[in-house]
Structure 1
Amino acid sequence: MGNWGGERGEAQGGGRQGRDGLRTVVGLMSGTSMDGIDAALLRTDGRERVEPLAFVTVPYDDGFRARLRGCLGGKGAVEQAADQAVHQVERELTDAHAGAVRRLLAEAGCAAADVDLIGFHGQTIHHAPEERRTLQIGDGARLAGATGIAVVNDFRSADVAAGGQGAPLVPLFHRALAHGLPRPLGILNIGGVANVTWIGPEPQDGLGEAAVVACDTGPGNALIDDWMLRHGLGRFDAGGALAAAGRVDEAALAALLAHPYFDRPAPKSLDRDAFDPAPVTGLSTADGAATLTAFTAEAVVRVVRHLPAPPVRWLVCGGGRRNATLMAMLADRLGVAVESADGVGWDGDALEAQAFGYLAVRSRLGLPLSLPATTGVPSPMTGGRFHPVR
């Protein structure tokens, strides 16, 4: 696999390497917030070079979002995989991703024939690494047939089967982007679940790569979003306005933070529904939103003691960076600079989708997608399943 290109690579798909060593790829992400599909077009060598080209978000309609939520919880991975209702949702999900690819390419003025590969994350519906189980729905072969572009999907299974957490998988992409930024650097992605990538100083001799440590910090937007939905107040707390109007209930916050997850060292990962929001039951809608927002922020603070050194700067990506109340809580509780990743020229909405395009190239090159310090896998681990165009 390391010799990706030439006659063999062309036959397998995705072998049109440019003279500059870059390939044109699409990355697709449907995260734990389940709000829609992020689709990114980029050129990358799967190592140090990344050139973003275009990005779109395609929201799910309310009916499909409800059906997708219905695939979560209540069953183990084996039962879910055999569930016909899940299979129907998987077909819908895959076809929606094909539509997102077509829209992305149309807006970018790019033909499918000019794209080497799609990195297709799919939708996580079950994640229990302690049981060596993780399940992302999304039919890679169906997507390849619908788009006419070879696909890599199923990025997490090999890591989990080997004893890793299977998440987060974006750290090596973060490291590729972070050259020249102050270190140690914390990159915080706040989706439904929040995760951190810690990047250490550049090697002084210019050889090798900077150390990287990663883990899920705890809840991101999921508990806040669920609180809003439960009270008929929309799908999310826009700008953190409701939380800003409330008061943090310290007793409820302490009960939430008593979860044993926060004492575990990195690397570690979570399922979307790992935390029981019962401690906020009975609070006003504003106080509940404020307390759950503080829970997300304090979970990040709790992870700092598990990192090799406190970051001197935090860059925040994902939808949570638009929650002004959450960003203010993070800055206050971390006591160092906390800013949107957009401030350094990154697209904070596009990063995860870009990452899976980047990881698809690494998969085809046989390069690691995860490391012992990012997922706890015993040794650097590649992964992904390849689906050529038939």
Structure 2
Amino acid sequence: MLRLTPLHTETVDWDPALRAQILAVAAGEALDAGAWTRLTTELGQAFAEAAARGIRAVGVQPDLVVSHGQTVYHWVEGGHARGTLQLGEPAWIAERTGAPVLSDLRMADIAAGGEGAPLMAFFDRLWLGEEARATARPIATVNLGGIANVQLVAADGSVAAFDTGPGNCLIDAVVDRATGGAQRYDDGGRLAAAGHVHEELLTALLAHPYLAAPAPKSTGRETFDLAVVDAAIAAGAGAGDPVPTVEDLAATLTELTARTVVDALTGASAESAPATLICSGGGAQNPVLLARIVHHAAARGIEVESSAARGLDPAFKESLMFALLGYCSLHGAPIELGPLPAGGRVLGRFSPGRGPLELPTPHDGAVASVTIEHRTNAHRTNGGATP
């Protein structure tokens, strides 16, 4: 058993101009080689500053820094992931902190035939597997980031995980556009609470082909962007219909996320439906979204709770997962996100710190389970642009 003890958590906002560039690239803006170089450099420098700030706050030099980087594209073709791109040059982090850095965490799994996502499957198998086996009932989790991903921990402790579709990304995008960037997200779900679900628009959104695709599957912002919303508005509009207000759009897109998350959990037989759904991620801070998830889940006999009820800050579950992944890669432990033809892979690539890279002796066996003390141990940069 591995025990994870948090030391420090903090969210550092992106510089507004850098955040705008990230979102533009994720939306398909073309860049030349020089612009790509500047972007990955500036992201790496921002990550390095955030890591150094965390180290100063804790007063402990880390053995390893794990940097997932900023996803700008997740290439899916023929129903499977073919590649993925996360920016943020790790050499800047290694130089600033003096510690080795683990980055590029998804590609080894994709190269081995996996989806490279969701990485959370690995964490939840260790965190909840014993409980699922002891109770003989599946447990589900959902991470409500830009894209929502669910993990179904079966009664035998195995895990199925996949991206369900949009989490916060479409809500954030319509709010940002409607307010000219003055608001980056629906703070507290206030806009959704003031609006009404536009049923024709919701029906058009639910017809997106990704939502009907079988699992395992993964996706990104390049699949669910403002063009999807605008196309659905056009498809669902009658002659002379007014354009939906931002409040109605927020309410409709909030309902879309809630519906698709819960539908994904109950697509199999009633016997495989989870007893509990544990929520984390930025969307877990949105009471309107959570209320809609609770509503749909209750109709299927699923109890909903925040990961905070289990001692894990919902804002930092992903960060804690990356710390665990880093420990396993540092010690040579292979990780299997889903079924792979030849088993799991050691994920990520290492950038040495200021000295030679010295790895510990690999573990003889994999980590069997984890327990969490108090709250998440993490430090990250986030300005609402992460997928």
Write the letter of the residue equivalent to 2:163. Answer: D
CA apart distance, 1:306 = 4.3
User: Are residues 254 and 368 of structure 1, via their aligned partners in 2, closer, same or farther at CA, if it must alter by over 3 Å?
Assistant: farther
Matched, 1:125 2:79: no
Question: Larger deviation: 260-269 or 173-182?
Answer: 173-182
Aligned positions of 1:278-293 closer than 5 A: 278=230, 279-280=232-233, 282-293=243-254
Pairs within 5 Å for 1:129-168: 129-130=76-77, 132-168=82-118
CA displacement at 1:120 relative to structure 2: 0.8
Aligned twin of 2:24: 70
Indicate yes or no: 2:337 matched with 1:371.
yes
Larger RCO (CA within 8 A; separation ≥ 6): 2
Runs of 4+ in 1 over 3 A off after TM superposition: 179-183, 305-308, 376-379
1:230 counterpart = 2:177: yes
Q: Counterpart of 1:49 in 2: which secondary structure? A: strand
Alpha-carbon contact 1:187-1:197 (below 8 Å) kept: yes
Conservation of the 8 A alpha-carbon contact between 1:50 and 1:177:
no
SS of the aligned residue for 2:8 comes to strand
1:348 is aligned to 314
8 Å Cα contact 2:141-2:279 kept in structure 1: yes
What does the per-residue CA deviation read over 1:82-126, in whole Å, with 9 as the maximum and x for residues that have no partner? Answer: 72212212111111111111211222232x2xx111111001111
**Shift in CA distance, 218/71, structure 1 to aligned 2, threshold 3 Å:** same
Runs of 5+ unmatched residues, structure 2? 235-242, 355-387
Q: Select which of 276, 281, 285 maps to 1:318.
A: 281
SS at match of 1:155: coil
Task: Report the Cα offset of residue 245 of structure 1.
Answer: 1.0
| TM-score, normalization by structure 1 | 0.79
Q: Deviations over 1:167-201 (max 9, x none)?
A: 11122112322344764111110011011111122
Residue in structure 2 matched with residue 9 of structure 1 by the alignment: none
**1:49 CA displacement:** 3.1
SS of residue paired to 1:129: strand
Look up the SS of the partner of 1:132 in the other structure.
Answer: strand
Deviation at residue 273 of structure 1 after TM alignment:
3.0
Aligned letter for 2:74? H
Alignment-derived partner of residue 240 in structure 1: 189
1:298 to 252, 256, 259: 259
Q: Is this contact kept in 1: 2:172–2:185, CA < 8 A?
A: yes
CA distance in 2, matches of 1:148, 1:123: 21
Q: Give the conservation status (yes or no) of the 8 Å contact 2:94–2:353.
A: yes
Corresponding residue SS for 2:72: strand
- The answer to whether the Cα contact below 8 Å between 1:185 and 1:200 also exists between their aligned partners in 2 is yes
Q: Kindly provide the amino acid, as one letter, of the partner of residue 382 in structure 1.
A: V
Q: Which residue of 2 aligns with 1:41?
A: none
SS in 1 for 2:56: helix
Q: CA RMSD in A?
A: 2.1
Distance 2:207 2:96 in 1: 47
| Alignment counterpart, residue 362 of structure 1, candidates 310, 323, 328 | 328
**Aligned position for 1:16:** none
Q: CA deviation at 1:61?
A: 2.2
Q: How does 1:1-390 map to 2 (within 5 A)?
A: 48-74=2-28, 83-110=33-60, 112=61, 115-130=62-77, 132-178=82-128, 179-180=130-131, 183-201=137-155, 210-232=157-179, 234-275=183-224, 276-278=228-230, 279-280=232-233, 282-306=243-267, 309-335=272-298, 336-373=302-339, 379-390=343-354
Offset at residue 68 of structure 1 (A): 1.8
Q: How many residues align?
A: 328
Instruction: Give unmatched runs, 5+ long, in structure 1.
Output: 1-46, 204-209
Measure, in 1, the Cα distance between the counterparts of 2:321 and 2:207: 33
CA positional deviation for 1:307: 5.4
Offset, 1:218: 0.8
Measured after TM superposition, the shift of residue 316 of structure 1 is 0.6
TM-score by length of 2: 0.79
Report the CA distance between 1:280 and its aligned residue: 3.8
Q: Could you tell me whether the CA contact under 8 Å between 2:119 and 2:337 is conserved in 1?
A: no
